[in-house]
Amino acid sequence: MIGIVMFFAALALLLSGFPVAFIFGGVALLFGVFAEGPDIFAFMPFRIQSIMQSTTMMAVPLFIFMGLVLQKTRLAEQLLEAMAKLFGGVRGGLAISTVLVGALLAASTGVVGASVVAMGLISLPVMLKYNYEKSLACGTICASGTLGQIIPPSIILIILGDVLGIPVGDLFKAALWPGLLLIGAYVLYILIYAFLNPASAPALPIDRNISRRTYYGQALKAILPPLALILVVLGSIFAGVATPTESSALGGVGALILSLLYRQFSWKMLYEAALETVKVTAMVFAILLGATAFSMAFSYTGGDYIVEEVLTGLPGGQMGFLLLSMLAILVLGFFIDFVEISFIIVPILAPVADALGIAPIWFAILIAMNLQASFLTPPFGFALFYLKGVAPVSIRTTDIYRGVVPFILLQLVVLVTILMFPGLYGLV
């Protein structure tokens, strides 16, 4: 009961505009201490230490730094502009380029904070510069930043594999087609939206004075170096040089090398990028610190039992069960983070799914898609906070909320196709 009140209290206080991280922390304190006494906070240092030692999270600052260096040296801008130019007069080119770059980053990290923030730094300023509609720009970034959850390697898939007892490699393979379909759906949506609303995503101006050949030639020349950098990051994982987390450091150092090659490097630039990295990273981790206090107070005051009760009461029937469990996960995803869902909720659902003859891999992919959507769902979707944290002041929270809605719907559509036609994806 306290858990539910806590949730609504946090929701109401968020509207005050006080920093999100300290609202989570403060609400946890008020309710936790009220219900259990101050000693409940003796658990906090342990939880904080877990975050400090989660080496996969190191990808967050490292990717942010790479994004910042690419941004400060204008290499990112050139990359996206050049990519968009390849689309010629087609509208929405920048947004599509953002999705594609996001997909590439997604293939090297599975950490949402890392890719959303990096994409926010890299592509938001460019889209705004070309007068993209704010909500479209924000939605595109959040959606492509969360692609990392479904495109392998991904933390969600690793955890789900562990919980459901499916080898990680099998899950990685199974997630590939749904991930690609999702990318396709985003691109298609952007094309259609831009076609219907010309002002929302203008095509980049074409320079009439140069030949088509030079035009595309110049574009390719601008694309290659930063694209090569991203491919090196990916390649280092495939070649066994680095783990996914370490690859992000190669990206950071690689970006510095690029800046040297382009004579854009200066100590001032390095210092500013580092200081900015600290700021953005601290923003992300402050939310995680606040959220861990919140989930601590939530579960130690009995919240986890409420959740368990609701779930054990789900009715049977294969489709009925799948629909209801997906709905339950989506709703819970509003306020419980995906690790909790994977470890607490999935084990409750898994035996039922098994008894109903639902293939574990199918079930896992459905859950992963669903959890990906939960990063985007207002008001508590972490991707939204992260983008807000790096966006210029002209971007308001409502722009972000409005922007993600169509992308959430797209994810639901893809989710439904997986639900209806698992055979197409080779999941059964």
Partner 1 sequence: VATLFNPAQADEKVYRLKMAETWQTNFPIFGDAPRNMAAMAEKMSNGRLKITIDSANKHKAPFGVFDMVRAGQYDMGHSASYYWKGKVPNTLFFSTMPFGMTTPEQYGWFYQGGGMELMQQVYAPFNLMSFPGGNTGNQMGGWFQKEINSLEDIQGLKMRIPGFAGEVLAKLGANPTNIPPGELYTALERRTIDALEWVGPGLDLRMGFHKIAPYYYTGWHEPATELQFLINTRSWEKLPADLQEILRVAMRTASYDMYIQNYDASATAWAQMKAEFPDIQIKTFPAEVMTALKGANDELLEEAAAADPLAKQIIESQQNYQAKVRVWTNISDRAYLNSLSD
Partner 2 sequence: MMLLKLERAVNRVSDLFGKIAAVLFVLLLFNVFYDVLSRYVFNDVSIAMQEMEWHLFALMFLLGVPFTLRADAHVRVDILYDRLSTRKRAWIDLTGTLCLLLPFCLLVGWYGVGFAHESYLLGETSGDPGGLAYRWLIKAAIPFAFFATALSGLGLALKSVNTLRGQSMADIQGNHP
User: Among residues 151 and 349, whose Cβ is nearest to Na ion?
Assistant: 151
Q: Single out the residue of 66, 104, 143, 151 in contact with Na ion (rule: CB under 5 A).
A: 151
155-188 CB burial, b ≥16 within 10 A, e <16: bbbbbbbebbebebeebbebbeebbebbbebbbe
User: Among residues 301 and 397, whose Cβ is nearest to partner 1?
Assistant: 301
- Contact code string over 10-39 relative to partner 2, x by CB under 8 A: ---xxxxxxxxxxx-xxxxxx--x----x-
Q: How far from each other are the two terminal CA atoms of the chain, in whole angstroms?
A: 40
Distance CA 422, CA 399 (A): 35
What DSSP character marks residue 43?
G
Minimum CB separation of residue 173 from partner 1 in Å reads 10
Q: Single out the residue of 100, 282, 306, 416 in contact with partner 2 (rule: CB under 8 A).
A: 282
Told to check if 394 binds partner 2 by CB under 8 A, we report: no
For residue 37, is it left (φ>0), alpha (ψ between -120 and 50) or beta? left
Minimum CB separation of residue 47 from partner 1 in Å reads 4
User: Among residues 59 and 326, whose Cβ is nearest to Na ion?
Assistant: 59
For residue 116, give the nearest of 63, 159, 152, 158 by alpha carbon: 63
Neighbour count for residue 311 (Cβ, 10 Å): 19
Told to check if 312 binds partner 1 by CB under 8 A, we report: no
Q: Which does 185 bind (CB under 5 to 8 A by kind): Na ion, partner 2, partner 1, none?
A: none
**CA of 233: how far to CAs of 54, 139, 227, 245, in Å?**
21, 25, 10, 10
Told to check if 61 binds Na ion by CB under 5 A, we report: no
Told to check if 61 binds partner 2 by CB under 8 A, we report: yes
What DSSP character marks residue 356?
T
**CA of 173: how far to CAs of 131, 365, 425, in Å?**
39, 11, 10
Q: Residue 265: phi, psi to the nearest 5?
A: -75, 140
**Site of tokens 């600290």:** 278
- Contact code string over 209-238 relative to partner 2, x by CB under 8 A: ---------------------------x--
**CA of 325: how far to CAs of 163, 239, 321, in Å?**
16, 39, 6
**Site of tokens 């969360």:** 146
Subset of residues 110 to 139 that bind Na ion, contact rule: CB under 5 A: 110
Q: Which does 151 bind (CB under 5 to 8 A by kind): partner 2, partner 1, Na ion, none?
A: Na ion
Q: Which does 148 bind (CB under 5 to 8 A by kind): Na ion, partner 1, partner 2, none?
A: Na ion
Told to check if 4 binds partner 2 by CB under 8 A, we report: no
For residue 110, give the nearest of 64, 70, 61, 145 by alpha carbon: 145
Q: Which two tokens stand for residue 353?
A: 């799914």
For residue 97, give the nearest of 135, 134, 66, 137 by alpha carbon: 137
Minimum CB separation of residue 34 from Na ion in Å reads 40
User: Among residues 277 and 370, whose Cβ is nearest to partner 2?
Assistant: 277
Distance CA 143, CA 372 (A): 9
User: Among residues 294 and 363, whose Cβ is nearest to partner 2?
Assistant: 294
Q: Single out the residue of 2, 57, 95, 156 in contact with partner 2 (rule: CB under 8 A).
A: 57
Told to check if 289 binds partner 2 by CB under 8 A, we report: yes
Q: Residue 285: phi, psi to the nearest 5?
A: -75, -25
Told to check if 188 binds partner 1 by CB under 8 A, we report: no
Told to check if 304 binds partner 1 by CB under 8 A, we report: yes
Torsion of CA 99, 403, 186, 96, to 10 degrees: -40
User: Among residues 216 and 300, whose Cβ is nearest to partner 1?
Assistant: 300
Q: Single out the residue of 154, 281, 342, 374 in contact with Na ion (rule: CB under 5 A).
A: 154
Strands (E), 134-288: none
Q: Which does 292 bind (CB under 5 to 8 A by kind): partner 2, partner 1, Na ion, none?
A: partner 1
Binding site for partner 1 (CB under 8 A): 39, 42-43, 46-47, 49-50, 54-56, 153, 155, 158-159, 161-163, 165-170, 237-245, 292, 296, 299-300, 304, 339-340, 343-344, 347
Binding site for Na ion (CB under 5 A): 106, 110, 148, 151, 154
